[in-house]
Every structure is written in C-alpha cells, then in structure tokens.
Amino acid sequence: MTDSNSPQVCPEAAARPEESDERLKTLKYHLLGPSLTKAGQEKVDQNKVSEIIYNASKGSKFFNQEEIRDQALTQKIEKILVTKRQLEQQDLTQELRNADRVIHELELSRDLTQHIVHVDCDAFYAAVEQLEHPELKDVPFAVGGGVLTTCNYIARQFGCRSGMAGFVAKQLCPSLILIKPNFQKYTAKAQEIREILADYDPRFESASIDEAYLNITEYCHDRNVIPSEVIEQMRREIHQKTAITVSAGIAANTKLAKICSNMNKPNGQYELPSDRTSIMAFMRGLPTRKVNGIGRVLERELLELGVRTCGEIYEHRKYLSLLFGDKTFEFLISCYLGLGRTRVQPAEDYDRKSIGTESTFREMSDSAKLREKLRWTAEELEKDMERAHCKGRTLCLKIKLHTFEVLTRQAVMPRAICSADDLYHFSLPILAKLEQEIPGLKLRLMGLRCTHLVSTKKPDTMAFFGLRVK
C-alpha cells in the first residue's frame, strides 16, 4: 500500500531510455542551485561542477529531495508544452491584441528621470572575516558549515557558492577553509556602511544586510555632478572608512540597477544610459535568469518554450498569459521592456505583510534542543518586530526536515503578539504537534513568521487632528 500524498514517479516514464539522458541533464542543472548567477562563476565549467555535485550528493537526502522536485517540474513543463501545442492550433488574434495593449500601457509608465543605484558589498561576510584574518586573502574559504553562507572569490573559481552544502563544496575544493559565521560582527560592519550611504540618500532602502538601493537624483542635481562620479566617490569612501569593497549599478529603475551591479564585480560599477533605446538593447540579449525574480523554475519553463533572453519574451507574448496567468505575464513583459520601480524608501515605510526569521543548522532531533532553538528563534523575531514596530495576529512555524522537505504550520492568535514569550508560548504547541505527526522528527531549519500585522507605533496626535508642524 502506498502513501497517496507522496510524490509518485510514473514507472512507464522512468523506464523509457530515450528520456533518461534528458532527465539526468535537467537534474544536474537543478543541483547547481539558485546562486548560479553569482559573480565569480563566469569562467567556471558548470558542467564539471554539476557532475561533481551529482556524484558527491547522490543517494543523500538532499539529492533525493532535489530529484523529486526536478521530476515534479518536468511533469509541470510537459503539461505547459501540451497546452502550448494546443494553443498553436487556435486563433489567438485577440490574445495578441491584448498583449500589445498591455505593452502600450506599461510603456506609458516608463520613468527615465531618476538616477537609481544598487549597491552590493563584495562577498560581504567573507570580506569581514578577511579583515580579522588577513592570512585568508590568497586561499579559498567560505563562511558557513553545513551550508555555505558565502564564499570568497578564490573559492568561487572552483564552483563553490552560497547555499551549497559544505561537504559538496569540499569535493569541489578540497583545500576550502570553513569559517563559523558571526552575524553580530557582520551587522556592526553593515551599519558603518549604511552611515555612509545615508550621506548620499538619507532615505536609502536596505534590501538585505549587504545591499541597498539609493535614489541620487536630488544629490546630483543639487551639486551639479553626474551619477558615475558620485558613485565612484561613494565606493571610494566606503573602502577608505570600512576596508570593504562594494560594487554598484546605476540605471533608471531598481530592476535595472540590480542587474547592473553584477556587471563589474568585484569592486566595480556599471551605468546603463537612461534612454529607451539603450535599455531595450540591453534587455534584448540579457538571459532571463539575470533578472531578479526569475529563478530556476521559471527560467527552465521559459527555456522549454524557447525563451532564453528577455528579448525573446516578445515573440511569445500571445501565449504567456494563457500559460502562466496575468500576473506572471505582466512581470515578464516588464522584464522585456526593462521597466521597474523608481520609488526608493526605507524598508519600514513599506506596508509590510509579514515579518519573520529563520536559520539552518546541523540535523537536530533532541526534543530539548529543538525547544531551545525555538526559544532562540522567538527572541530573534521579537527583535525584528520591535524594529518594525508591529505585532502579528497569525503565527507561522516553518521547518525543513532532514530529508530537505519543507513544512509550514500556522495558527491564529487570540490577540496580536510580538514578545518572545508569546511567540514561544504559541509556537510550542505547533512544534509539539509536528513531533507527534512525525515520529523521530529531525530538523535542519526552523523559522517563525508573523502575518496580519498591526502597528505598535504611537499615534501622531497632531496628525490625527489634521495638524502638522511646519
């Protein structure tokens, strides 16, 4: 008797030898992971890397889970291709008109008046560690243990990358040195960099601990300077004051700036001219995977349809909404056009829908240690919620099993909560229930997230009565 909830592989499909080579090829590509486009990977023989990853991880729980995911994606793509063939036999004149209408409407939203910058620290955690350990400068090393958080550029030349299992990285680079992460140290260094960024745009937007968006339009206008000179100056100042190098992209919007910041890494910058002709030419030959928001799954779906670059999205425009839905269709068209947001603001100004934290660790099954980890996670989430000035009405527990399967469970709270005590108190029964459902529960990741947020900021009394201090 089989478990109806477990993924099933069609025996007929598994037995067909003509398909086995293609399935092996897609699996090996899948195993390369989400950080394939990271800087430092350009000259790496990815076929060789995928072969090493395949052989090193074959038979492991990680490998088995990735194989299941890859087979599920293959089946999904087969359905997409069947639908595409059916659509090719139909009159899609109306769909083509609709696609062109959307392109026209989106084109009207193009804003070429802003100078947007994406700043990205180069191998940040590794760079901070190297400041304390200069002897690491000329050797391959990575920050992390069971899973790599980041690698220096020497390690990347061997194919090592963030998100990779430590034992696999050691197969790629036997001399790789692993450094235990120290997030307190990284946070302190990040704050030094942010203080400099604020001089150029007081309302810069932190995208993560080591990257940020800035709008330097006003700065350039007030000082009558050009963006490239401003960013050269800013990068030089960051290096002089913090000993950390950063790379930057300068463009008309955040999407383009993010892509451009990866063009001249490490310790470089790239500016895309803010005119429609230059932007369209830039996007035309850009591989879809280079765009933030197009990951392994969507990239492979597009590749199977014959879409490798953003320019090729246009040729398939009449099919996209029918195959992927309106939301993904509009996103892909905006990629083709090189459109993105120009509004940059502090993260706390956004209407957040959720706030959470998670961490990975070595396999853990001891009940007391799992509760200790849950308590620590609750304390970390409390800090984040204090900074965001919010409470949550729904609490979600996320876990990753030792088999790499991810599970989430959530519960509605009797009141909005934010304290570590409450977060732990209400998440503990969720964890206990999972322990009952899965005997011998072994975890390698745990996270907590609150949704349906309410603000804890004190109300602005004068604003409430329609008064403002001028």
For 57-124, the DSSP string reads: HTTSHHHHHHHHHHHHHHHHHHHHHHHHHHHTTS--HHHHHHHHHHHHHHHHT---S--EEEEEETTH
In 267-339, which ranges are E strands? 269-271
Express as a percent the part of the chain with pLDDT over 70: 91
15 phi/psi in degrees, rounded to 5: -90, -10
Angle (nearest 5°) at CA 103 between 98 and 108: 125
Of 23-32, 140-149, 191-200, the poorest mean pLDDT is in 23-32
Position 39 scores a pLDDT of: 74
Q: What is the pLDDT of residue 350?
A: 60
Q: What is the pLDDT of residue 36?
A: 61
Q: How far separated are the first and last CA of the chain, in Å rounded? A: 74
DSSP string, 129-182: HHHH-GGGTTS-EEEESSBEEEE-HHHHTTT--TT-BHHHHHHH-TTPEEE---
State the average pLDDT for the chain.
88
Cα separation, 191 vs 210, in Å, equals: 10
Q: What are the boundaries of each domain within the chain?
A: 19-75, 92-109+275-337, 116-139+175-271, 351-455
Active-site residue identified among 66, 67, 205, 211: 211
Compute and round to an integer the Cα radius of gyration of the chain.
24
For the chain, the residue count is 470
pLDDT for 124: 96
Q: How many CB atoms lie within 10 A of CB 415?
A: 8
pTM for this entry: 0.77
Of the two residues 27 and 176, the one the predictor is more confident about is 176
- Which 8-state DSSP code applies to residue 309? B
Nearest to 296 by CA among 45, 35, 75: 35
Q: What pLDDT digit, counting tens, does each position of 397-454 carry?
A: 999 998 888 999 999 999 999 999 999 999 999 999 999 999 999 999 999 999 999 8
CATH code for the domain defined by 92-109+275-337? 1.10.150.810
pLDDT at 463 > cutoff 50: no
* pLDDT tens-place string over residues 220-260: 999 999 999 999 999 999 999 999 999 999 999 999 999 99
- Return d(Cα 436, Cα 363) in angstroms, integer: 18
CATH class given for the domain over 116-139+175-271: alpha beta
Report the alpha-carbon distance of residue 213 to residue 345 in Å, rounded: 8
Give CA separation, 253 vs 231, 330, 341, 351, in Å: 16, 17, 6, 20
- pLDDT recorded at residue 348: 63
**Residue 38 above 60 pLDDT?**
yes
What pLDDT does 15 receive? 43
Question: Residue 48 — pLDDT band, cuts 50, 70, 90?
Answer: confident
**Euclidean distance between CA atoms 34 and 44, whole angstroms:** 16
How do residues 113-146 score in pLDDT, each as one tens digit? Answer: 999 999 999 999 999 999 999 999 999 999 997 7
Q: What is the pLDDT of residues 75-84, one digit of tens each?
A: 999 999 999 9
Assess whether pLDDT exceeds 50 at residue 2.
no
Higher pLDDT, 65 or 214: 214
CA distances from 217 to 320, 349, 378 (A): 35, 20, 40
CA–CA–CA angle 406, 408, 411 (5° rounding): 170
Q: Which of 402, 404, 383, 368 is nearest to 448 (CA)?
A: 383
The single-letter code of the amino acid at 100 is D
pLDDT tens-place string over residues 256-285: 999 999 999 999 999 999 999 999 999 999
Catalytic annotation present for 211: yes
Domain 351-455 listed as CATH 3.10.20.10: no
Q: Tens of pLDDT along 320-355?
A: 999 999 999 999 999 999 999 999 988 666 667 889
Residue identified by tokens 């509605």 is 412
